[in-house]
Structure 1
């Protein structure tokens, strides 16, 4: 999730656990720090764009390592504030602030390696967008009230914010499962034999959902809003570059991205250069994570550092499309060239 959300979650969790035992501002401050720390791995440049992607949310997001770090951080905080008697409580509070960060990240589609060093599998539920005000705003309101109102009222408001935000996550998973059923039924009715189906929310909401389904030779993309009437998904077909993927399966960047995306990727060539695209984040034709893996000649002389060559959708056009499509109007995504 975005940095503001992680700060708010870490602070709210720590305030809830520490309660009346210390000043609310101390709990909020150190919870915010703990909620931010795992994302510092984004500052590391591995010299390769694909590596930067697949190694983000790695060790710094692993529950095992965060659990080992929590008592040290708690000892430092307790010693700094002269609250040695509260060390165990700080330990619990900061551990929860640390581990809820990757657990929340796992609700997005990106991929979080929660169980390192035991497995590097990237877990991703994909039921919430990376920025969703309906999740974040209750946390912020509860936290502000905890800092600005009488203690009893503030702690109740903070707890209510955590409860509402958690309920929203449950809602997102339930709706995701419903949309997947609608999508699979639509695929079957239209004779599309899909090997895998991905259901993720459109930006900033859990009413409009994007669906990607992979076949042997292509992928199809469609949208479903809970307000669609009738609930029929219109699919648009695209070549996935299966032959290119098979021919270049030994290219490290392609191999890594294929595993990291759980197969939701496409491959194409342009001017002799090989490109691989993560189909999970973005929408046709704009994808953030598209990588240039170089030419065959370049790769023959040794490993080629992947370069990021993705593009973002025009924000104004995207927002102009988002709201009416969310309300059930059957509009094609902006920028999509339809025959």
Structure 2
């Protein structure tokens, strides 16, 4: 998910009552919820960053170490403020055990929500390079923003007004998000199953979430050498792969293997790509991923291979 969503998740967890456990709880939860994305600067490497993102910093080793480091930094910051006499008077005492626990809670929400996308995440890195996909939510989901943002705002408003049950809106937001995720999981499963048993019996079916329209999916299918897509709506008719002729993937093009071996960008792309397609334009091959063929950011997910 995007970092706004991760931040809202951390903040809502704090407003649900966790921030009462220790001083610096809110910054701990919000920072920890974004912590695995310390790999973000690798985007400077362009297409090659596809093989770097959502890997080692999202795996078990990093998730064991990074939250402890964050907790240590926050504790050191609190003590530094005490020495300087700049520690806010209203801040609760920092309880190291609780602060550490909250850093782990916040950090663990990150891979959980990243898994929900079709982009992929290597949950077991460095022990395994396997990519995991939830195919549940689009990476930027305004419905999540609305639920989390409203719950956070109402909770903060009640707290400032001195209401006794100011955590309730945050609890409702969390319940709403969990229900929304469950609903979308069901929609994706229904969409995928609606064409999985249709001729030409695809080997791979992905119910790709659609931006903003959680009730719709772009159902992507692949056979041995062809690919296609079928629109799906929870409120419309279901259609099978037989209604879409598809196109050749061209991944068996004899020129492809040699050009990939000569291109670090292409090798990185194929390491990341779940549904690669080689589009032929004269003597130029362009590697794209079927999941992002229609995305506005398609250019970030392609590699052009020209003859040398």
Same fold by TM (over 0.5)? yes
**2:29 and 2:105 in contact (8 A); partners too:** no
**Counterpart in 2 of 1:208?**
216
2:62 to 53, 65, 72: 65
Cα gap change, 1:58/1:285 in structure 2, threshold over 3 Å: closer, same or farther? closer
Query: Which of residues 184, 193, 196 in structure 2 aligns to 1:181?
Result: 193
2:290 match: 279
**Once the 2 structures are TM-superposed, how far is the Cα of residue 259 of structure 1 from its aligned partner?**
4.1
Structure-2 change in CA distance of 1:256 and 1:249 (3 Å): farther
Q: Higher mean Cα deviation, 133-142 or 247-256?
A: 247-256
Q: Where does residue 194 of structure 1 map in the other structure?
A: 202
Match 1:44 to one of 4, 21, 42 = 42
User: Secondary structure of 1:139's match?
Assistant: helix
1:123 aligns with 2:120: no
Tell whether the 8 Å contact from 1:10 to 1:31 is kept in structure 2 after alignment. yes
User: Quick one: structure 1 residues 41 and 286, their matched pair in 2 at CA, closer, same or farther if it must change by over 3 Å?
Assistant: closer
Q: Does the CA contact (< 8 Å) of 1:107 and 1:128 recur in 2?
A: yes
Counterpart among 236, 258, 261 of residue 273 in structure 2: 261
CA distance in 2, matches of 1:285, 1:134: 20
Contact 1:6–1:101 under 8 Å retained in 2: yes
Deviations 1:149-204 (A, max 9, x none): 2364222221221121122111111111111111224xx2xx31312111112111
Aligned CA distance change for structure 1 residues 62 and 160 (closer, same or farther; 3 Å): same
User: 2:111 matched to which residue of 1?
Assistant: 102
Q: Give me the whole-angstrom Cα distance separating, in 2, the residues matched to 1:277 and 1:170.
A: 30
SS at match of 1:296: coil
Q: Which residue of the partner structure matches residue 177 of structure 2? A: 165
Q: Paired residue for 1:336?
A: none
TM-score (ref. length: structure 2): 0.83
Between the aligned partners of 1:149 and 1:286, the Cα distance in structure 2 is: 40
Shift of 1:120: 1.8
Cα-Cα RMSD: 2.6
Distance across 1 between alignment mates of 2:304 and 2:76: 50
Number of positions where the alignment pairs a residue of Structure 1 with one of Structure 2: 287
CA distance in 2, matches of 1:284, 1:75: 41
User: Is 1:56 equivalent to 2:53 in the alignment?
Assistant: yes
Deviation at 1:21, TM superposition (A): 2.8
Aligned mates of 2:230, 2:176 — CA distance in 1: 30
Aligned-partner Cα distance in 1 for 2:62–2:18:
23
- Report the 3-state secondary structure (helix = DSSP H, G, I; strand = E; otherwise coil) of the residue aligned with 1:249: helix
Q: 1:22 to 1:149 in 2, by over 3 A?
A: farther
CA–CA distance in structure 2, aligned partners of residues 236 and 132 of structure 1: 31
Matched, 1:239 2:248: yes
Instruction: State the distance in 2 between where 1:18 and 1:75 align.
Output: 19
> Which blocks of at least 5 consecutive residues in structure 2 are unaligned?
80-91
Verify the 8 A CA contact 2:36 2:57 in the aligned structure 1.
yes
Aligned 8 A contact 2:75 2:96 in 1? yes
CA–CA distance in structure 1, aligned partners of residues 297 and 226 of structure 2: 17
8 Å Cα contact 1:13-1:96 kept in structure 2: no
SS at match of 2:51: helix
Distance 1:235 1:288 in 2: 25
Q: TM-score, normalised by structure 1?
A: 0.76
1:247, distance to aligned residue in structure 2 (A)? 4.1
